[in-house]
Amino acid sequence: MAHGPKPGFTRWLYTTNHKDIGSMYLWFSFAMFLLGGCMALVIRAELFQPGLQIVQPGFFNQMTTMHGLIMVFGAVMPAFVGLANWMVPMMIGAPDMALPRMNNWSFWILPFAFAMLVSTLFMEGGAPDFGWTFYAPLSTEYAPPSVTFFIFAVHIMGASSIMGAINIVATILNMRAPGMTLMKMPLFVWTWLITAYLLIAVMPVLAGVVTMMLMDIHFGTSFFSAAGGGDPVLFQHVFWFFGHPEVYIMILPAFGIVSAIIPTFARKPLFGYSSMVYATASIAFLSFIVWAHHMFTVGMPIAGELFFMYATMLIAVPTGVKVFNWVTTMFRGSMTFETPMLFSIAFVILFTIGGFSGLMLAIAPADFQYHDTYFVVAHFHYVLVPGAIFSITAGVYYWLPKWTGNMYNESMGKVHFWLAFVGLNVTFFPMHFVGLAGMPRRIPDYALQFADFNQIASVGAFLFGAAQILFLFNVIRTVRGGKKATDEVWENPEGLEWSVPSPAPYHTFSTPPVVR
């Protein structure tokens, strides 16, 4: 142990320590989660009743757009990078990340990117209002002037993600402790390795598509304008070539977290480690050849339609393998239900429900009825909220005692879980119904037959939002003190991170451990 953290504020500014940077990522992500959540509550408050009560349609569109962007790029992705920063070096027995200075840089550009994005709310013409998918030409010729700031913000976020991903790949491939072969790595490390490759592959595509927008808006090109010989559908192909792998970027690390937690609390090894690795790799591969299932209604030729339908249905197979593995791991275990386990079990159940609606959406003819309705909103919130958000929450509860040296308050954790679980289902389950009954998404006002379920969903959203305050409270309390955690924290958990003291010292594994 050479030295501890620098005193004062500059510790955070200049730090190259993976634990410090991990913590900053996590706090930043939580702040964005609350901000994006408040925007969601504006949306739900407006949709509480038919008619316009609280906001005007233009501002409503700004809220849906910013909610999506902030949750995807500000909350979920940085949270996973934060967890990777904290856990990957400790899990593979490395002293730090491979590229610590770049690590500092990739975090510190994020607050600026989001400050720029959020500042558009106060600009003339308002914030981006074209949905987080920003389809051209609504996002080019017809966009508010703030779109340029949005484009630069996306560029910075992309640069941050790419640097983070390169760092993770470099760390995992070069800095494993002796004996830590690839097929001995914890699944969280595996899923992150694959996620990092996805990021390196698709973030440049996103940068490309926003640059094409920038050219169309300011330099007279016509990539996406039919009047100039361009093609608005091209935008969607390029966007979703990024966008579909992106949704797996937001779920693969979640698989890794849950695959660590379930065996610990079932006191039984993961059923099929190697098949889990292969399933993750298959999902990652398939994610590159299914993008146009987001575009079944654009008028593709039937051959394209069929290809994307079959390829999309195929994703159900490796995803099924994962779910069956988790269930079989629980089967005949000796289970206890601490907060991380509760969130993980809810993850498996609710993510599976989201998977089912995903399978339904894959069926192109049925998708003509589902497309762009609340059924889709229900689907992707079922995979993202219990998928990404619940797994991140589970991970935080699971590793918090290792990070802080203190146990969190278990009963408060359980209350948080149950409020979030009930709130989530009350919010998003009725969305299946209104979607099937014919309610389009992204509308600020709706016909009367959708009123009842929307009202229920709005109540659930406020419950879910309120539950997160309990989470914040519990985490702050744990950081400040509480019952001391043992080095193992849980009963015989697997992994190198449990072999270091709690709280984990500022520098761990200065001498590499030997893995049997």
Partner 1 sequence: MGIKRLFAFLTLATIAPGIFAQQTAQDAEEEVARWGVNMTQGVTEVSRTTYDLHMLIFWICVAIGVVVFGVMFYSMWRHRKSKGYQAAQFHESTLVELAWTIVPTLILIGMAIPATKTLYDIYDTKEADLDIMITGYQWKWKYDYMGSDVSFFSNLSTPQSQINNQQPKAANYLLEVDEPLVVPINKKIRFLITANDVIHAWWVPDLAVKKDAIPGFVNESWTRIEEPGIYRGQCAELCGKDHGFMPIVVKAVPEDEYHSWLNDRAAAAARIKELTNKTFTFDELYARGEEIYKSACVACHQAKGEGIPGTFPAIAGSKIATGPMDAHMSMVVDGSPSNPAMQAFGAQLSEVDLAAVITYQRSAFGNNMGDTVQPIDVLNFKNK
Q: Could you give the residue numbers annotated as active site?
A: 67, 96, 132, 160-161, 244, 246, 248, 259, 293-294, 319, 322, 441
72 or 163: whose CB is closer to partner 1?
72
Q: Do residues 61 and 68 make contact, with C-beta atoms less than 8 angstroms apart?
A: no
Which one of 453, 471, 490, 498 is in contact with partner 1 (CB under 8 A)? 453
The rounded distance, in Å, linking the Cα atoms of 170 and 352 is 33
| Residue 459 within binding range of partner 1, rule CB under 8 A | yes
Instruction: Count interface residues toward partner 1 (CB under 8 A).
Output: 116
Secondary structure element (H or E) that encloses residue 360, with its range: helix 339-362
Task: Reply yes or no: is the peptide bond before residue 301 cis, omega within 30 of 0.
Answer: no
Which one of 194, 330, 377, 431 is in contact with partner 1 (CB under 8 A)? 330
What letter would DSSP give residue 440? Answer: B
Contacts with partner 1 in 68-127 (CB under 8 A)?
123-126
Stretch that binds partner 1, among 32-40, 71-79, 112-120, 270-278 (CB under 8 A): 270-278
Q: How far is the CB of 398 from partner 1 (least distance, A)?
A: 17
Nearest Cα to Cα of residue 395 among 304, 281, 475, 513: 475
Instruction: Read off the tokens for 122.
Output: 């106060």
Residue 33, C-beta contacts closer than 8 angstroms, at least 6 positions apart: 71, 74, 75, 79, 389, 468
Which one of 272, 495, 512, 513 is in contact with partner 1 (CB under 8 A)? 272
The three-class DSSP label of residue 373 is: strand
Q: How far is the CB of 56 from partner 1 (least distance, A)?
A: 8
| Residue 356 within binding range of partner 1, rule CB under 8 A | yes
| Residue 345 within binding range of partner 1, rule CB under 8 A | yes
8 or 299: whose CB is closer to partner 1?
299
What x/- string results for residues 40 through 69 when contact with partner 1 is judged by CB under 8 A?
-----x--xxxxxx---xx--x--------
29-57 exposure pattern, b = at least 16 Cβ within 10 A, e = fewer: bbbbbbbbbebbbbbbebbbeeeeeebee
DSSP 464-493: HHHHHHHHHHHHHHHHH--SBPPSS-SSS-
The three-class DSSP label of residue 336 is: coil
The three-class DSSP label of residue 371 is: coil
Q: How far is the CB of 349 from partner 1 (least distance, A)?
A: 6
> What are the backbone angles phi and psi of residue 85, rounded to the nearest 5°?
-60, -45
181-191 exposure pattern, b = at least 16 Cβ within 10 A, e = fewer: eeeebbbbbbb
The rounded distance, in Å, linking the Cα atoms of 395 and 339 is 10
Q: What is the largest CA-CA distance in the chain?
A: 67
Which one of 1, 2, 183, 448 is in contact with partner 1 (CB under 8 A)? 448
Which one of 170, 200, 214, 349 is in contact with partner 1 (CB under 8 A)? 349
| Residue 332 within binding range of partner 1, rule CB under 8 A | yes
| Residue 490 within binding range of partner 1, rule CB under 8 A | no
Residue 314 burial (C-beta neighbours within 10 Å; 0-12, 13-18, 19+): middle
| Residue 181 within binding range of partner 1, rule CB under 8 A | no
20 or 129: whose CB is closer to partner 1?
129
Three-state SS for 189-213 is: HHHHHHHHHHHHHHHHHHHHHHHHH
269-301 exposure pattern, b = at least 16 Cβ within 10 A, e = fewer: ebbbbebbbebbbbbbebbeebbbbbbbeeebe
Stretch that binds partner 1, among 89-97, 181-189, 203-211, 432-440 (CB under 8 A): 432-440
395 or 435: whose CB is closer to partner 1?
435
Q: How far is the CB of 340 from partner 1 (least distance, A)?
A: 15
| Residue 493 within binding range of partner 1, rule CB under 8 A | no
Contacts with partner 1 in 388-427 (CB under 8 A)?
412, 419
The rounded distance, in Å, linking the Cα atoms of 42 and 39 is 5
13 or 52: whose CB is closer to partner 1?
52
169 or 341: whose CB is closer to partner 1?
341
| Residue 259 within binding range of partner 1, rule CB under 8 A | no
| Residue 285 within binding range of partner 1, rule CB under 8 A | no
Contacts with partner 1 in 14-33 (CB under 8 A)?
none
Nearest Cα to Cα of residue 469 among 149, 167, 37, 146: 37
73 or 351: whose CB is closer to partner 1?
351
10 or 181: whose CB is closer to partner 1?
181
Contacts with partner 1 in 202-231 (CB under 8 A)?
225-227, 231
| Residue 510 within binding range of partner 1, rule CB under 8 A | no
11 or 218: whose CB is closer to partner 1?
218
| Residue 138 within binding range of partner 1, rule CB under 8 A | yes
Which one of 14, 310, 418, 506 is in contact with partner 1 (CB under 8 A)? 310
